[in-house]
Structure 1
Amino acid sequence: MKKKSIIVALAATLTSPAFAQSSVTLYGILDEGLNYTTNTGGKHNIEMAAGYGAGNRFGLKGAEDLGGGWKTIFTLENGFDLSSGRLNQGGRMFGRQAFVGLSSDKFGTLTAGRQYDSMVDYVAPLTANGNWAGYLFAHPYDNDNTDNSFRVSNSVKYTSNNYGGLKFGGVYGFSNAAGQFANNRAMSLGASYVIGDLTLGAAYMNLNNVGIGSTGAVAANDASFFAGHQREFGAGANYNLGSATLGFVYTHTRLDQPTGNGYLTPSSFPAGITVNSLTFDNFELNALYRFTPALSAGAMYTYTSGRYDGSNGDSKPKWNQFGLVVDYNISKRTMVYAHAVYQKVSGSTGTFLDDAFITGTDNSSSTSKQGVVRLGILHVF
């Protein structure tokens, strides 16, 4: 079972529309569990952590039939922490998605608001973390955004219809800064193609001054990295082979003049150190096997080759990350699951990249190794 995509589709269709020509649907996901981490800042940790199988949310989707194959559509989707009840996505009320637009049976869909970028739309569904696994399976620091660490605010988005298995689209996020059109803006393009049991996808994203200020396309309280320039490219494939799905994804991320990382505390790099550039090349192999309609298991291996160029020297860190997941559906809407992820870092000397950090853990390890085991329950409504 492709967990994330199926859960979202199910949650969005469980409520029947009240009228044939105009409808509003309430949907949501509740995910809670316990994590055991082998090393966070030198100590192991047992914690309750929410949203690691799929992000907790409740949302409203609506559509109004305008006639002639045209519809007005909207989505308002809130993200929250089930353990504490607080808002996620930097405290935004509808931080996961918030947009309105027009959809045509002939011409596709045009929307405006806070939306997913093309890496999330076309490449992430081919990864383990962006499909059937979850947060802990993200590539290091979610450097390519395939785990949807940030959205694009102030954005206009076009999504084509399905043309014989081909879909494509693009997003442009405005800086909203007077006289600084390129200051914290975002652009992305992507496409996918399905032919028989094979699914292909590719995307490109370009961000300027990402994480600068509070009103741009990717604000400071939303970014995974802060940098003068961030570029990403990714492509991958999934192939269905009976009860199994096999996948391969490659992504490349380059950051010029990075100044910090949203996952780390403190978020800024050490004082007195200038980082000229960071690059990440991620190679992921994943496989999912459905033993029964209720029981499935998946595995992932990611090799990431990095390059650090800073005033304190150069290094070439390497990450090896392994992940396993088992899902069991105890009902149509409720799942219990187990996750296990292990990461080892090598090749980095004297930088913040020396220590292992599995995305979503409480803190970096004090060594080059880190492991996490999670038991969770997930319910959709």
Structure 2
Amino acid sequence: MQATTRLYLHDSSRFNFEATVVAAQIRDGVRWIALDQSAFYPEGGGQPADQGTINGLPVTDVQANDDVVWHALGAAGNDQSLDVDAHIHGAIDPTRRLDHMQQHCGQHILSAAFQALCGAATVGFHLGERIVTIDLDIPALQRNQVQAVEDLANQIVWGNLPVTVRILARDELNGLALRKTPTVAGPVRVVSIDDFDHSACGGTHPAYTGTVGMIAVLRWTRQRGGVRVSFACGGRALNELRRLNQVASEAAEQLSVGLDELPIATKRLLTTQQALQRQLATAEERLLDDEAERLYAAGELVGAKRVVQACFADWSIERLRTLAEAIAARPGGIALLGSSGTRANLVVACAPESGYEANQLLAHGLPQLAGRGGGNARLAQGGSPQSEHLEAALGTIRQQIQA
């Protein structure tokens, strides 16, 4: 099949073109056509596909298969005007193309800045719908390093340096400081940002770095031995900074402080919350200990053992466990506790001198609930979506305890 001449390789700012259909097929109800030439960028290299229209019909996807670029026209059906040898007019969505040029060129600039200042090579790149990420082969980054990189990257952007595209033979690469050794055979498309960066790349880029607008690093996290940096360029950066400013402003308003005071106010709020949580936990512990004493005193005396069987509504498994352990901490205490609600929770706890093992007792009740669980001799727990048989399951366990 005839290879597609990719017009964007030489001119990323070309948004309209004429072409001839060289192949057409239906895949899963979607009409795909291949053209003799196309300005549509196919998905690849971490960059999403262009969108736009062909003869006024929306292009929903663009994919490359070897040297052929295929265009999906979901609304075309069996339109004969798009059969082989038909002449078409293609139009690229300029807003999406500009956005992708800003993000991809910004990535080259940011990656080169990380390489220059931190010695961190870019080993991964993804251009998402809202955020762009690069993966760096560096174990960690400090805030001052990121800020220095961000400053350098934006100096390159605001310098409005020329971005040139050349397709070079392998021997022409000698003496050119490529940021990464190309893996493709044959001629290599090199995108150069003045003398700041030279990279083998098949993506779309603007003619000058000023088109990128700005580069904003949003966050960085450790991932698989390296660091993933999330950032945005141009219009995306503006939108992200607006969004973050709105979120911060709303938080500051809720706390009745200025934006500059937000970190201190947040820390103060967290300190207060943690203190209240500790107080609440202490009060809860005392409450459950009092409840354990009351239930233990009212529990059934079986020989030297005191058995407490009780069911509660919508108790968490953690709360049940705390109460059960408090009961089993008393002489001969055996706790058979359950909680019914959206699911059944079951906890069994046994004092060491009781002569019973919690996990073995629990095993007698789980079949009635079709539940699962486990534990050890002192404490065991289980659960099931079938809460209607909880009382019966507790009763079955109780029958195993003899004087």
Which of the pair is proportionally richer in helix? 2
TM-score computed with the length of structure 2 as normaliser = 0.21
Greater relative contact order structure (CA < 8 Å, 6+ sep): 1
TM-score computed with the length of structure 1 as normaliser = 0.22
